[in-house]
């Protein structure tokens, strides 16, 4: 139950005084001058607790006491990983009054990934975090998604607002900018860098976590958000969940030469070249190929594979400075399934990494955070909360993975069939693929 209530009385003179002693005979609050009530049970607050708080507030008002009666939740939450998923989860929980700790094995914020494209559902989730305006202020609006052949012929051209108008805008920005906005929204000291959660185990009604510095601590909830190769996932659910999908990629940022003004992809024989403006000065480039062609991913291989593409993107590759900073990756998938255990849940790429063909990696991670925080704040036993989270998320993330595989198969298959399909049915395929993601996250 509650440790105690405090009522903030506001007499007509405006001076505020605590009247917590009015409730002493009932609750014997151990502290004075506390605004609200702190819930300290091992489970989040129940609906009955909130109703009790409101009933007391009404009775106090009827007795002539001016002021307010509130309650807040006290539980210990650990988030392992300070990427998009982990930072979003921390922000989402904080907006619900739930403080948490975030640990990240890297010594400083990551600069990997170069750029990021956010579709309308991701923008909506950022709005739920109260950060959409901050993101829009530094992002480049994307009004079109255009697919070309490697020779430059237009295969499909979609106006994004036609699908996402009731959900949110499509935006592109640097990954570092998004991470910085998320982190700056948190209370100072929330994230500890250079510290990793290496193992976890159930211990009574808590979850024990062992850290890389040898310390152990207990938590009410542990959220695994450390990416596709999550050590906590391997420790709790077993190794080898992630599998390679025979696609390797390069990600980089180049000067914006004004050649493209929206999301622009060019498709070759088993190769994809994508350009997205992320500002007036910069363009994010993503390029992928079969892993057998990738080797160690040197820049000269990328230039050889893509410099033969026509404009607008091929010439960018041909003119690429060999010293350009490039992020390389062999892509992996983590099959979406029931990634929950006793007081432990996986989110983001740790739970459902997949090919970037749907451009939904960040969107699914931010949605995970919003839904998890909403369910935790509603209260109830942790196991029921996590089961509810699984049921709310599994359909959407499985859909994204299914459609990512289908898009990968289409773009890597026969160019004749692929080009015909995109020309004839591209608009309808886009709408049918993304319309389910415009629906509400929770009933």
Q: What is the pLDDT of residues 150-164, one digit of tens each?
A: 999 999 999 999 999
Confidence label for 59 from pLDDT (cuts 50, 70 and 90): low
Structural element, H or E, at residue 326: none
| Mean pLDDT calculated for residue range 271-280 | 98
- Least confident stretch, 38-47, 85-94, 356-365: 38-47
Where residue 64 falls among pLDDT bands split at 50, 70, 90?
A: low
**Tell me, what's the pLDDT at 276?**
98
The length of the chain is 443
Q: pTM for the whole thing?
A: 0.85
The mean pLDDT value for 311-322 works out to 93
From the CB of residue 412, how many other CB atoms can be counted at a distance below 10 Å?
Answer: 20
Give the pLDDT confidence of 376-392 residue by residue, as tens digits.
Answer: 999 999 999 999 999 99
When the pLDDT of each residue in the chain is averaged and rounded to a whole number, the result is 87
Alpha helices in 67-210 (DSSP H): 84-95, 120-128, 132-138, 161-164, 175-184
Could you tell me the pLDDT band of residue 239, with boundaries at 50, 70 and 90?
A: confident
Quick one: pLDDT at residue 219? 97
Residue 107, both tokens: 């010594």
Strand partners for 218: 208
Radius of gyration of the chain (CA): 25
Give 67-121 pLDDT, tens digit per residue. Answer: 444 444 578 999 999 999 999 999 999 999 999 999 999 999 876 669 999 999 9
Per-residue pLDDT band for 22 (boundaries 50, 70, 90) equals: very low
Residue-level pLDDT at 62:
59
d(CA 367, CA 121): 8
Q: Which residue has the higher pLDDT, 9 or 185?
A: 185
Mean pLDDT of 402-418: 94
Asked if 83 and 225 touch (Cβ cutoff 8 Å), the reply is yes
Determine the average pLDDT of the residues in 137-145: 98
Alpha-carbon distance of 54 to 261, in angstroms, equals: 53
Does the structure show a pLDDT above 50 at 132? yes
| Angle made by CA atoms 328, 331, 335, in degrees to the nearest 5 | 155
C-alpha–C-alpha distance, residues 424 and 410, integer Å: 14
Number of alpha helices (DSSP H) and beta strands (DSSP E) in the chain: 15, 24
Residue 416: phi and psi, rounded to 5, are -65, -50
pLDDT of residue 18: 32
Residue 307: beta bridge partners? none
Structure tokens at 241: 């969940």
CA angle 247, 251, 254 (to 5 degrees): 145
Q: How far apart are CA 332 and CA 245, in angstroms?
A: 6
- Calculate mean pLDDT across residues 281-289: 97
pLDDT at 329 over 80: yes
Please write the tens of the pLDDT for every residue from 194-233: 999 999 999 999 999 999 999 999 999 999 999 999 989 9
CA distance 440 to 395: 13
Determine contact, residues 76/99, Cβ cutoff 8 Å: no
* C-alpha angle 228-115-337 in degrees, rounded to nearest 5: 25
């Amino acid at each position: 139950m509650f440790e105690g209530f405090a009522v903030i009385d506001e007499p007509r003179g405006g001076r505020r005084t605590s009247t917590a002693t009015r409730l002493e005979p009932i609750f014997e609050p151990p502290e004075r001058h506390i605004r609200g009530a702190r819930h300290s049970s091992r489970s989040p607050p129940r609906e009955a607790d909130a109703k009790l708080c409101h009933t007391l507030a009404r009775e106090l008002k009827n007795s002539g006491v001016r002021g307010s009666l509130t309650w807040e939740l006290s539980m210990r939450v650990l988030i392992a990983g300070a990427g998009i998923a982990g930072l979003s989860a921390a922000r989402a929980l904080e907006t619900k009054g739930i403080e948490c700790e975030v640990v990240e094995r890297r010594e400083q914020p990551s600069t990997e990934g170069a750029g990021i494209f956010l579709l309308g559902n991701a923008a909506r989730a950022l709005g739920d975090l109260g950060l959409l305006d901050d993101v829009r202020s530094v992002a480049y609006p994307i009004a079109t998604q255009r697919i070309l052949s490697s020779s430059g012929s237009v295969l499909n051209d979609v106006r994004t607002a036609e699908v996402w108008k009731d959900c949110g805008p499509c935006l592109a920005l640097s990954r570092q900018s998004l991470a910085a906005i998320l982190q700056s929204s948190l209370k100072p000291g929330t994230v500890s860098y250079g510290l990793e959660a290496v193992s976890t185990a159930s211990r009574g009604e808590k979850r024990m976590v062992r850290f890389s510095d040898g310390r152990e601590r207990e938590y009410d909830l542990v959220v695994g958000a450390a990416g596709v190769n999550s050590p906590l996932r391997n420790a709790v659910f077993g190794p080898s969940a992630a599998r390679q999908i025979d696609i390797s990629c390069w990600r980089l940022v180049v000067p914006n030469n004004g050649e493209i003004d929206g999301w622009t992809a060019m498709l070759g024989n088993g190769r994809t070249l994508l350009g997205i403006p992320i500002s007036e000065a910069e363009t994010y480039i993503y390029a992928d190929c079969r892993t057998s062609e990738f080797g160690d991913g040197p820049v000269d291989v990328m230039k050889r594979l893509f410099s033969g593409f026509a404009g607008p993107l091929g010439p960018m590759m041909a003119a690429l400075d060999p010293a350009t900073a490039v992020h390389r990756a062999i892509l992996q998938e983590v099959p979406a399934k029931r990634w929950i255990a006793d007081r432990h849940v996986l989110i983001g790429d740790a739970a459902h990494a997949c090919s970037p063909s749907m451009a939904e990696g960040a969107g699914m991670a931010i949605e995970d955070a919003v839904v998890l925080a909403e369910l935790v704040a509603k209260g109830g036993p942790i196991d029921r909360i996590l089961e509810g989270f699984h049921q709310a998320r599994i359909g959407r993330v499985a859909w994204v993975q299914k459609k990512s595989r289908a898009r990968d198969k289409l773009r890597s298959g026969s160019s004749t069939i692929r080009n015909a399909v995109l020309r004839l049915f591209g608009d309808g395929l886009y709408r049918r693929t993304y319309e389910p993601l415009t629906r509400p996250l929770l009933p």
